[in-house]
């Protein structure tokens, strides 16, 4: 085949040019179901180095030098976590890889498990050696059937090659991995709830201390690490902690995988050095907002994160900077919103999610989120009052301070951050009974622009409520009394004649 | 429900109390839901109170105590799907089938459930039918998708 112009190299495509791949370095370059592919690159090179040439203390030292922080959300330094577990008294210790990935809108862990399963296994065996654990548990979301299958294939292959099992590579270190499927409860991503679930109980969090490093599964010292955290380990041991620490900002080192979704041209997983600006991620890599719409905000950190407005787009993303802006790093979700996204609706959406997922153990979380959600629902349905707004602002910090686990502890973030940056939108809903973005159903009406309408009857046929009248080639009209505001007419119109007012 | 098959499942997990969640998962995979009879049998054989089994079956979201239709339609309401109109797709599907979320259609053809993110947000809004993914859904397209299933 002869091409008019040469195919661009990966580095020359803007989506890839600004990325720096550590965790995703093998993505698409190997067949994930063939261990030999992984080995042919640099797979299982860190393992013999760790097991045969390094003491556990030395491994921990290297990870500490890298200043790697946990990618599951809290950002706790991984080397320190390992050291605590290593030093905890006890013969039997466990390592859990947390692959419960429950944040709606995020899929980086899934991608790592599916595209590079052996990197996770290699990281787990090394971590096990470092903390002194002979058993590993891989806790995977049940909604990820492909990831589950690939991990099982990888475990079988690694066992067949003697890279998993007893006396690995003659080092004396034995390590076995058991896969446990999660039950679709978001709160089970929280460490103490995860432990309860592994033990076969309902996954409700319990107070810490004792920390898992002291008393984890069945009372044994346990380290829990996120998928992405563990997948960084082989690269860190191969190239050195100092190399890893050379990327990033003062407090946050290395690279981070973000899942960039929502109202952005190029959606997908993006791996960049810590400290990259949101503008670079959303506009240079993501290609900006589609359909000529205006950027409004980016929600960072999943349901318990916060949104960041246009004025802060040059913020370098690291743990501290995001927290200061009222959001969180979380596990790396970035959801882009444009002028057609309603921030009150978004806050209500996240609270609805957290309300359903609250385990119900403590009152501030169980009842507080419920009440906040009720108030936001009133706002979006045109019943809001200023007194409710005041109550919301009083309630949010209480839920934050008084909840047992981080689910309740961060549940107010979406409310507080949208209030901080988009108070005008709240006011419009409450005082003017208006949704400026045209999202909240009770506050909008659909109308047909008679100048554009060609009378093609398409919307009339699409309408489930028989709300549209008008004959062939005559302008159509919507009867607001009958309209159920489903938007089918707007979606079906080929002439962009249906407007939201 | 086949009691012998269920016993095979329990054996696979050593009749251990800590294996009950996995047993329920396996049972649901076979039956498409959790029959009460099955919960009772598990409690009996594993030797724990039936209330404990029931509490697990209701705590974890992926379990269903109601029979499900031949095809499970999951409408994604994850964040990316929400901002791209997943809610309207859900309304359309439940309206067309005349059955609310979580219920089986009277002809036993479908059960519609919301799901919070299936991990392919780039294709939002997404609907899955059984194990097949349909991305870029519109109200019109989703009606066409459902017509393919008997
Ligand atoms: C409600 C809730 C859900 C969580 N979900 C996850 C998750 O899905 N995956 C994850 O790795 N960590 C999750 N975490 C964070 C974990 O509790 C824990 O901090 C993390 O797995 C530790 O690993 P790391 O140090 O490698 O980040 C969640 C925390 C909370 C409070
Ligand atoms: S904060 Fe919420 S999720 Fe966490 S333990 Fe309390 S009720 Fe459960
Ligand atoms: S929004 Fe729905 S109900 Fe209203 S006119 Fe359009 S198609 Fe009919």
pLDDT tens digit sequence for A335-381: 999 999 999 999 999 999 999 999 999 999 999 999 999 999 999 99
Task: Identify whether the C-beta of residue A372 lies closer than 8 Å to the C-beta of residue A467.
Answer: no
Cα of A211 to ligand 1 centre, how many Å? 14
Between vectors from CA A213 to CA A361 and to CA A23, what angle results, nearest 5°? 95
Closest-CA residue in chain B for A196? B18
Kind and range of the H or E element at B35? none
- Please state, rounded to an integer, the average pLDDT across all residues of chain B: 93
Distance from CA of B55 to the nearest CA of A (A): 7
Measure the CA–CA gap between A438 and A447, rounded to whole angstroms.
Answer: 12
pLDDT tens-place string over residues A44-60: 999 999 999 999 999 99
- In the block, tokens 């009996």 appear at B44
- Among A15-19, A24-28, A67-71, top mean pLDDT goes to A67-71
Q: What percent of chain B has pLDDT over 90?
A: 80
Q: Max Cα separation, chain B? A: 51
pTM score, two decimals?
0.93
Q: Model confidence over B53-98: pLDDT tens digits?
A: 999 999 998 899 999 999 999 999 988 888 888 999 999 999 999 9
B18–chain A Cβ distance below 8 A for any pair: yes
**pLDDT tens digits, one per residue of A116-174:** 999 999 999 999 999 999 999 999 998 888 999 999 999 999 999 999 999 999 999 99
Query: Closest approach of chain B CAs to the CA of A83, in angstroms?
Result: 29
Whether the ω angle into residue B125 lies within 30 degrees of 0, i.e. cis, is: yes
Atom of ligand 2 nearest to the CA of A405: 4
* A299/A307 Cα distance (integer angstroms): 4
Q: How many CB atoms are located within 10 Å of the residue A268 CB?
A: 16
Would you say residue A1 has pLDDT above 70? Answer: no
> Residue A426 and residue A435: Cα distance in Å, rounded?
9
Cα–Cα dist A357/A74, whole Å = 19
Predicted local confidence at residue A4, as pLDDT: 63
CB atoms B116 and A142 under 8 Å: no
Q: Which residues contact A210 (CB under 8 A, 6 or more apart)?
A: none
Residues of B whose CB is below 8 A from A101: 119
* 3-state class (DSSP) for residue B73: strand
Percent of chain B at pLDDT exceeding 70: 100
- Consecutive H or E run containing A23: none
A268-273 vs A255-262, strand pairing mode: antiparallel
Give the chain A residue whose CA is nearest to the CA of B118: A143
From the list A63, A117, A122, the residue with the least C-alpha distance to A253 is A63
pLDDT in the model for residue A488: 92
Element (H, E) at A194: helix A191-198
Q: Which is it for strands A333-338 and A306-309: parallel, antiparallel or unpaired?
A: unpaired
Q: Crossing angle, helix A117-131 and helix A56-66, to 10 degrees?
A: 120
What is the distance between the alpha carbons of residues B66 and A426, in angstroms, rounded to a whole number?
A: 40
Classify residue B130 by its DSSP letter: T
- Select the residue from A138, A180, A183 to test the B interface by mutation, using most B Cβ atoms within 10 A: A183
pLDDT digits (tens, 9 = 90+) for A297-347: 999 998 889 999 999 999 999 999 999 999 999 999 999 999 999 999 999
Give me the residue from B22, B61, B78 closest to A185, CB to CB. B61
Residue A350 CB: number of other CB atoms within 10 A? 27
Q: Find residues 91-150 of chain B whose CB sits inside 8 Å of chain A.
A: 91-92, 95, 115-122, 124, 131, 138-140
pLDDT band at A66 (very low <50, low <70, confident <90, very high): very high
Encode pLDDT of A471-481 as tens digits.
899 999 999 99
pLDDT > 60? residue A107: yes
**Would you say how long chain A is, in residues?**
501
> Hey, of A99, A100, A105, which one would you mutate to test binding to chain B, going by the most B CBs within 10 A of its CB?
A105
* Token couple for A406: 């981080």
Residue pLDDT, tens place only, A26-35: 988 999 999 9
Rounded Cα gap, residues A162 and A146, in angstroms: 24
Does residue A383 register a pLDDT over 60? yes
Q: Which residues line ligand 3 (CB under 6 A)?
A: A 446, 462-463, 465, 467-468, 478, 483-489
pLDDT-based confidence at B115, cuts 50/70/90? confident
Greater confidence (A221 vs B29) lies with A221
**ipTM of the shown complex:** 0.91
Identify the pLDDT of residue A2. Answer: 59
B83 with A106: Cβ contact below 8 A = no
CB B52 within 8 A of CB B35: no
Q: Which of A234, A257, A236 is nearest to A124 (CA)?
A: A234
Count CB pairs under 8 A between chains A and B. Answer: 119
CA-closest candidate to residue A231, choices A390, A43, A410, A376: A43
Whether A107 and B119 lie within 8 Å, measured CB to CB: yes
Q: How would you classify the pairing of strands A446-448 and A498-500? A: antiparallel
Residue A357: nearest ligand to its CA? 2
Work out the number of other CB atoms within 10 angstroms of the CB of residue A298. Answer: 28
């Amino acid at each position: 085949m002869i091409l008019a112009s040469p195919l661009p190299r990966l580095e020359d495509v803007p989506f890839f040019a600004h990325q720096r791949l550590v965790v995703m370095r093998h993505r698409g370059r190997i067949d994930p179901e063939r261990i030999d592919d992984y080995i042919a690159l640099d797979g299982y090179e860190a393992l013999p180095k760790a097991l045969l040439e390094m003491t556990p203390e030395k491994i921990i030292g290297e990870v500490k030098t890298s200043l790697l922080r946990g990618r599951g959300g809290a950002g706790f330094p991984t080397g320190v976590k390992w050291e605590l577990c290593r030093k905890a008294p006890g013969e039997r210790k466990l390592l859990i890889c947390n692959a419960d990935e429950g944040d709606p809108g995020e899929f980086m862990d899934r991608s790592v498990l599916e595209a590079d399963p052996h990197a996770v296994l290699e990281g787990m065996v090394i971590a096990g050696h470092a903390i002194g654990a002979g058993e590993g548990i891989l806790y995977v979301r049940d909604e990820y059937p492909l990831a589950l299958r690939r991990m099982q294939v990888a475990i079988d292959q690694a066992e067949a090659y003697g890279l998993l099992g007893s006396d690995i590579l003659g080092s004396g270190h034995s390590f076995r991995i058991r896969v446990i499927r999660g039950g679709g409860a978001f709160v089970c991503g929280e460490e103490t709830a995860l432990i309860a679930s592994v033990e076969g109980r309902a996954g409700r969090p319990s107070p810490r201390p004792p920390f898992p490093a002291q008393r984890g599964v069945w009372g044994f010292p346990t380290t829990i690490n996120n998928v992405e955290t563990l997948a960084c380990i082989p690269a860190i041991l191969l190239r050195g902690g100092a190399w890893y620490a050379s990327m990033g900002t003062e407090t946050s080192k290395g690279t981070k995988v973000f899942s960039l979704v929502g109202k952005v041209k190029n959606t997908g997983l993006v791996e960049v050095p810590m400290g990259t600006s949101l503008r670079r991620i959303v506009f240079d890599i993501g290609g900006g907002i589609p359909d000529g719409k205006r950027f409004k905000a980016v929600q960072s950190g999943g349901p318990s994160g916060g949104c960041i407005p246009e004025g802060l787009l040059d913020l370098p993303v690291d743990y501290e900077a995001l927290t200061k802006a009222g959001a969180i790093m979380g596990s790396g979700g970035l959801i882009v919103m444009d002028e057609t996204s309603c921030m009150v609706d978004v806050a209500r959406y996240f609270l609805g999610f957290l309300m359903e997922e609250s385990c119900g153990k403590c009152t501030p979380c169980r009842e507080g989120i419920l009440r906040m959600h009720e108030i936001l629902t009133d706002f979006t349905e045109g019943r809001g009052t200023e007194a409710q707004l005041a109550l919301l602002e009083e309630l949010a910090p209480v839920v934050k301070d008084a909840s047992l686990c981080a689910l309740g502890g961060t549940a107010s973030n979406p409310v507080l951050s949208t209030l901080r940056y988009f108070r005008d939108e709240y006011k419009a809903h409450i005082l003017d009974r208006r949704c400026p973005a045209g999202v909240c159903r009770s506050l909008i009406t659909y109308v047909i622009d008679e100048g554009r309408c060609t009378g093609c009857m398409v919307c009339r046929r699409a309408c489930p409520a028989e709300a549209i009248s008008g004959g062939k080639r005559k302008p159509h009209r919507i009867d607001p009394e009958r309209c159920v505001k489903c938007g089918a007419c707007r979606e079906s119109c080929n002439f962009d004649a249906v407007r939201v007012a | 429900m086949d009691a012998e098959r269920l016993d095979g499942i329990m054996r696979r997990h050593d009749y251990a109390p800590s294996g009950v969640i996995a047993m329920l998962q396996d049972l649901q995979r076979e039956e498409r839901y959790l029959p009460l009879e099955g919960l009772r049998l598990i409690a009996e054989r594993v030797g724990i109170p039936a209330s404990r089994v029931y509490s697990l079956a209701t705590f974890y979201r992926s379990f269903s105590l109601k029979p499900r239709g031949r095809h499970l339609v999951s409408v994604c309401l994850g964040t990316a799907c929400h901002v791209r109109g997943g809610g309207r797709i859900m309304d359309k599907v439940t309206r067309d089938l005349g059955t609310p979320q979580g219920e089986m259609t009277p002809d036993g053809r479908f059960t519609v459930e919301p799901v919070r993110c299936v991990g392919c947000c780039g294709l939002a809004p997404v609907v899955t039918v059984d194990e097949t993914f349909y991305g870029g859904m519109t109200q019109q397209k989703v009606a066409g998708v459902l017509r393919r299933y008997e």
